[in-house]
A and B are shown apart, each in its own frame.
Chain A
């Protein structure tokens, strides 16, 4: 896949456990954040987003937490399944009110063990 050779942080979890994937961002002016999932050979797939006026948002089996004080974003996946195995990227919009360019993080490889 696209990330072969990339020394990604790896998170290994047992099937059924909860996963927490973390992301630090650098621009305090960023006002919009997205988590993407990328499976081998595929494009980034939208999971969940959050705006800077929120600190938590929940979707189906996923929760995103935003801590603007320490510029930290996390993705929590409940009851992790084998199909959740992928690389997860956080992306930020660093230009509020301007362009919509997304800046991606380096990604975390999630491995779900049976």
Chain B
């Protein structure tokens, strides 16, 4: 059964450093998402991406964040200058369509900013 995969599983970085989180969505999916879950809190939407552009983003997704699909398979989330409060689990998800279509989540990347 196809799955969303994410790398790395864990990332430790110093405050102010750039990080890139990588995701390989399910191959026939067209819609891609990033969510995050701060320890002890709910899963929160960050951004959705379709047809090589952002279709929606939350207020969390400020100028420090960017997403890219550099090739036909990878979908990346870049945090340009990490802050302590960026420490969280970051989940990638993908779906076949929009509106009433299931989103399938990857296993997550645990980011720790020191």
Contacts and interface: CB of A to CB of B under 8 A. Distances in A.
Query: Are these two chains actual partners, yes or no?
Result: yes
Interface of A: 2-6, 31-32, 34, 36, 42-46, 49, 51, 89, 91, 93, 96-107
B40 A44 contact: no
A101 B101 CA distance: 11
B75 interface: no
Majority secondary structure, A binding face: loop
19 contacts: A3-B40, A4-B39, A5-B39, A5-B40, A32-B99, A32-B100, A34-B102, A42-B107, A43-B6, A43-B91, A43-B107, A89-B42, A100-B31, A100-B99, A102-B35, A102-B45, A104-B43, A104-B44, A105-B42
Interface in B73-114: 89, 91, 95, 98-108
A96 B99 CA distance: 6
A43 B106 contact: yes
A51 B107 contact: no
A99 B102 contact: no
Q: How large is the interface on B (under 10, 10 to 19, 20 to 34, 35 or more residues)?
A: 20 to 34
B89 A100 contact: no
Given A101-B48, A101-B56, A2 B89 contact: yes
Contacts of A42: 107-108
Nearest to B92: A43
B6 to A, nearest CB: 8
